[in-house]
Amino acid sequence: MEAHISAPHWGRYVSVFLLFSAVLNTASAVTHYSIPEEMEEGSVVADLAADLGLDVKTLSKRRIRLDVIANKKYLDVNKETGQLYIAERIDREFICTTKTSTSCFLKMEAIVENPQRIFYIELEIMDINDNAPNFRRDTINLDLSEATQAGERFSVNNAVDLDVGANSVKTYHLSDSDHFNIEIQTGRDGSKFADLILKKALDREQQAVHNLILTAVDGGVPTRSGTASITVRVLDTNDNAPKFDKDNYKIDIMENSPIGSLVVKLNATDLDEGTNSEILYSYSLYTSEKTQQTFHLNPNNGEITVKEMINYEDFRIYDMEVIATDKGPNSLTGQCKLTILVTDMNDNHPEISIKSFQSPVKEDIQVDSVIAVVSVSDKDSGENGIVDIRIADTLPFALRESSDNYYELVVSEPLDREKVPEYDITFTVTDRGSPPLSDNETMTLELLDVNDNVPQFSQSFYTIPVMENNAPGALLSSLTAFDPDLHENQYLVYFIIEKEIVNTSMSMLFSINPENGNLYALKTFDYEIEKEFLFHIEARDSGVPPLSSNVTVHIVIVDQNDNPPVIVSPWRAHGSVVEEKIPRSTDKGSLVSKVIAIDTDSVQNSRITYQFLQVTDATLFSLDQYNGEIRTMRMFSYRDPRHQRLVVIAKDNGDPALSATVTIKLSTVETAVKAYSDMTEVPLEYDIFSDLNLYLVIGLGSVSFLLLITILVTCVLKCQKPKPSKAAPPSRNSVISERNSTIADSTLVSNDAYWYSLFLAETRKGKLVVRQPAPKAGSRYIVSSLPRSTGLTETSDSAASTLQYPK
């Protein structure tokens, strides 16, 4: 009986052959099943209970079981359903190891009890294509001579497939190759194998190794395959002759090359390998004995070296032929030709010859003037004999070729001796050899000075302060100029450019040393007369023609504090005390008197301040230190003394300070003094005389007379008690003294024939204005007297008078 059993997991039907005997009670019946290998565990093979005619419900009681085969329980029976199922994976190749038969059976017994029965079961395991063809060796190595003829056949290992039948190896494939293919053979047992056939001759020099892939393919569905690598190594034969890199060599060599120096290294190659490629070098019979004596050939590496000294004059060209022979069984050879050209060595230095040279030359030499002529030469030939000449680019000269190998040295830029007094000119000659040789020659060119530079002062304007009262002949300054020229062009002479000031020449006031420029004062200067001088000094060199320059000199006379203050108000006689009268009823702050002093020094030294030197009562009077006004600080009391003595000092701002004092004696009276009537301006005219003559005697007599009258009038007025009166006092007269300044009321006489500027002098009796005239002979000095009120508490403004000069 044959049954087909479904295998659910595989999804296909498996034929099961079930044979029963005619008698069910006997054990001779065999149940036959057929399944594929590798079914999954748990897969149902057949309904064993139904096939054996057993009741499913009694299987457990009857304890149905299967015997174990080789300690493996491949199948089992489900006692609940009576189904025969796969208990363990079945591998046909493991169970049936022999390949002599394609059939593989698994036999077992099913035993039940109560009553006991034995059923024989035969399970046929069907082969599936679960194994790929496999080569015994993954790599197959073959060594073939490159001389092997085409058509030769070589056996390779065949592939093995554990599957049987259609699933075993069916064919072989070989990877693409120009030299090999395969032929498939079938053995007596039906196995397949392949022979490797050489279809094209091998050449080791083109390809030394051939790598092939042999693939074995089975007949299963789907097909499986296995591969093996075939490595064919081509063995060398001496079939290639040595060959040089070039057939002809042309080599240049310098004469006098050192013995042993390398000329050339020949290189011949043999495509063969091993001893077939080892090469020996030798001269051929065509190489002369002279060449072989001059050059040595190394037989092993092909180096040609210098054997004897090479002389360009003896031989300029050497020809040789070299043979390369390999060491193969049947030696093969190759050859090349060499031409060695001896090159002339640059062993001679270029030479320079100075044909003419002009030194020294003037610094104003014209541009493009020829200074020197030189020639160059070289004993070598060709490029070695060509000579180039040059000088430094920084020099103001240039080289100009005049003829073959002759050059002129010319001036290319203007020369200046003051910048560069001489030039070291180096001529450098260089040939064009390799390496180049050179030589040099140095000449020194001196420049002669030309008077082309004017004297130069360090400043364009000199301001020289000179203290007044200087000693005659005193050195004021050194005005030195510089001339960068040489010798007589450098020697300088200094002059004062004449200029007259008030009919006085500068050379009468100053002197300059013509050699060193020291400036001296020839007289003593007085700041009060001369305050500054402006003139020019010239420095002239001794060149031809001479050059000169001048500088402006400003002499500034610096004031000294050499004039003490002169008190001009209140007026006092020599050594006498100024007496003033003041009412006792004078109010606080009333002007009692005003001290006015003048100083003929400069502004700084003439600043005057006033102070009390002595005072009877310091609480009664105050003194303004700047304008000299004496005022009452309070009203007089009955306890105050009638007479007050005030000593005022006027001090200038000089260093050291000079001063003058005045003593004022104040007397208090009970009644007020009436004001004087207005006084008209009375000009006082007198002349300045430079010599003692008759006019001076008459003038001195007149002054003495007027002075006597003034003293007498003053004494009378002091002895009398003042009475109120509206009549104006007579106008005051000027008194002139020859040497000492004497101020009588509103009169001023200058000291030492110098006129001083007097500031506005305000007194209790009047105002005085004096201006300084130009110091010309015959000029007149006018003193103006301005009246004021006699009231002690009243003040009046004064109109400034002017000093007029006759035209």
Q: Supply the pLDDT for residue 511.
A: 92
Selection from 71, 15, 73, 72 nearest residue 45 by Cα: 15
pLDDT at residue 693 in the model: 54
DSSP structural state of residue 72: B
Which tops the pLDDT comparison, 501 or 345? 345
- CA-based nearest residue to 785, from 726, 719, 729: 729
pLDDT at residue number 576: 63
- Ranking 624-633, 680-689, 732-741 by mean pLDDT, the lowest is 732-741
pLDDT tens-digit profile of 704-753? 888 888 888 888 876 764 444 333 333 333 222 222 333 333 333 333 32
Give the number of C-alpha atoms closer than 13 A to the C-alpha of residue 107, restricted to the C-beta side.
3
Q: In whole angstroms, what is the distance from residue 136 CA to residue 148 CA?
A: 27
Domain at 566-669: CATH code: 2.60.40.60
- Decide: helix, strand or coil at residue 87: coil
For the chain, helix (H) and strand (E) counts, in that order, are 5, 58
The two most distant CA atoms of the chain are separated, in Å, by 211
3-state DSSP helix/strand/coil % of the chain, to nearest 5: 10, 40, 50
pLDDT over 60 (residue 460):
yes
Buried b (16+ CB within 10 A) or exposed e, 104-138: bebebebebeeeebebebebbbebbbbbbbbbeee
Cα–Cα dist 322/729, whole Å = 154
The CATH architecture to which 134-235 belongs is Sandwich (2.60)
Q: Give 230-271 pLDDT, tens digit per residue.
A: 999 988 888 888 999 999 999 999 888 899 999 999 999 988
User: CA–CA separation, 157 vs 135, rounded Å?
Assistant: 7
Opening angle at CA 804, ends 802 and 807, nearest 5: 160
* Homologous superfamily in CATH for domain 30-125: Cadherins (2.60.40.60)
Which tokens is 211 given?
A: 């790598």
pLDDT tens-digit map of 536-573: 999 999 988 999 999 999 999 988 888 888 888 887 76
Phi, psi of 498 (to 5 degrees): -60, 140
Mean residue pLDDT across the chain = 78
Cα separation of the two ends of the chain: 183
Buried b (16+ CB within 10 A) or exposed e, 773-798: eeeeeeeebbbbbbbbebebeeeeeb
Beta-carbon contacts of 321 under 8 Å, excluding residues fewer than 6 positions away, are: 283, 284, 286, 287, 335, 336, 337, 338
CB 95 within 8 A of CB 104: yes
How many C-beta neighbours within 10 Å does residue 741 have?
15
Instruction: Map 547-592 to HEC letters.
Output: CEEEEEEEEEEECCCCCCCEEEECCCCCCCCEEEEEECCCCCCCEE
- What is the helix (H) or strand (E) element at residue 697, kind and residue range? helix 694-719
pLDDT at 661 over 70: yes
**pLDDT value, residue 275:** 86
pLDDT, tens digit, 9 for 90 and up, residues 89-127: 888 878 787 766 677 888 888 888 888 888 888 888 888
Range of weakest confidence among 369-383, 504-518, 604-618, 711-725: 711-725
CATH superfamily to which 351-441 belongs: Cadherins (2.60.40.60)
Q: Quick one: what percent of the chain has pLDDT higher than 70?
A: 80
Query: Going by C-beta distance under 8 Å and a sequence separation of 6 or more, which residues neighbour residue 12?
Result: none
**What DSSP string runs through 158-181?**
PEE-SS-GGGSEEEEEE---SSEE
CATH: 3.40.50.360, 1.10.3720.10, 3.20.20.410, 2.60.40.60. Which one for 243-343? Answer: 2.60.40.60
- Report the C-alpha gap between 606 and 651 in whole angstroms: 9
Q: How far is 73 from 128, CA to CA, in rounded Å?
A: 21
At which residue do the structure tokens 């038969």 appear? Answer: 101
Query: Residue 294 CB: number of other CB atoms within 10 A?
Result: 21
Do 179 and 202 form a contact (C-beta atoms < 8 A)? yes
Q: Which two tokens stand for residue 369?
A: 């003037």
Half-sphere exposure of 213 (CA within 13 A, CB side): 7
Check: CB of residue 304 under 8 Å from CB of residue 289: no
What's the pLDDT at 694? 64
Please give the Cα distance from 270 to 640 (Å, whole number). 152
- DSSP class of residue 671 equals S
What's the topology of domain 456-558? Immunoglobulin-like (2.60.40)
- CA trace torsion 695, 697, 699, 703 (10° rounding): 180
**What is the pTM for the complete model shown?**
0.41
Which residues of the chain does CATH 2.60.40.60 include?
A: 30-125, 134-235, 243-343, 351-441, 456-558, 566-669
